[in-house]
Amino acid sequence: MTDEIPAPDQAPGAPHPRETPRLFGQDAAEQAFLSAYGSDRLHHGWLLTGPEGVGKATLAWRIARFLLATPPQSDDGLFGAPPPPDTLDIDPEHPVARRMQAGAEPGLAAITRSLNDQGRLRAEIVVEDVRKLGRFFGLSAADGGRRVVIVDSADEMNTSAANALLKMLEEPPARTTLLLVSHQPSRLLPTIRSRCRTLRLTPLSPADMQSALEQAGAGTEVMPEHLAALASGSVGRALRLLNLDGLALYAELIALLDTMPRLDRPRALALAEVAAARGAAERFDLLLGLIDIALARLARSGATGMPPQPEAAMGEAQVLARLAPDPDSGRRWADVAATISARARHGQAVNLDPAALVLDTVFKMQDTASWGR
């Protein structure tokens, strides 16, 4: 049963971060870490922040592999210290790399959401997950080498787990580095943030996104510019769009907007059926996210007088320009976006009928499109 449960630190359709050989578009973050390492100012706690899906976990595993495979700089030998490393790359045949690939590196501990007594994945990281590190530190201390802990994601710790981790950050074990992956660092305890040095990762460029998707084995032959616009520089988001046919879903949403303010009701009902289909929870959640994106792009189009580029669907620019021609209309779309988002998330929380929720959203969009007409 547990074999069927997806790894909580692995994006659907993507290789696990420990299996990702290259990191694209985050040279600045890598060089910031290498600079600290080379100047002998290696902090014991690192907070890796940035949008979800831009490579934070991959960077954490690269740093862990580098630290465990690279001899400490104090080991100068007879000829003085070697020049500081200029890359985090480690030969995949290195013993540490091979052990990490097999999940058998004794100097590494990865903290993620665990399974509960019923064999189901917990919604948060609990204090027992963090307390397991005590045994890890005890067993790994014998060899005197480095130890690395990856917490992915730190945002998912409950209060007790966060307090337990804070104690480790306040009194870190010797030769230990803690790497905290965080999509929303504002959710962390301020005392945790203050005891970590931050590495900020940024959204990927279209070229880096293309390279990362090719590395993940994802085909992007169809409208890569549309994918780049919707994914906003996040490889994880792009993979989700590809896996759930999100490009076609967004194109249908734009086609429905194109019928407003009159509204093609059969088309609206067909879109609602996407949310109501059996086993369609993921597509329903994706549809709500795509509606958020469409409304944000409408608001931006009205505010700037220019539809966002590149287009996220064929003919999108024309639709946005017609429905949001000026700043006043942009403000209306921004207001309704906030209302729709709040209602949709509340509806999900209380298990409202997905089809009814989608139709309610569509009708509110129609009302906004009808303003002043």
Domain 15-198 class, CATH top level: alpha beta
pLDDT at 77: 54
Q: Is pTM, for the whole model, over 0.85? A: yes
Mean per-residue pLDDT over the chain, rounded: 91
CA 185 – CA 45 distance, rounded (Å): 14
Closest CA to 254 of 296, 310, 312: 312
pLDDT at 268: 96
- Residue type for 89, please? D
**Inter-residue contact 206 to 230 (CB < 8 Å):** no
Structure tokens at 102: 């097999």
pLDDT at 81: 64
Most distant pair of Cα atoms in the chain: their distance: 83
- What are the tens digits of pLDDT across the range 77-116? 555 567 788 999 999 999 999 999 999 999 999 999 999 9
Break the chain into its structural domains and give their ranges. Answer: 15-198, 244-368
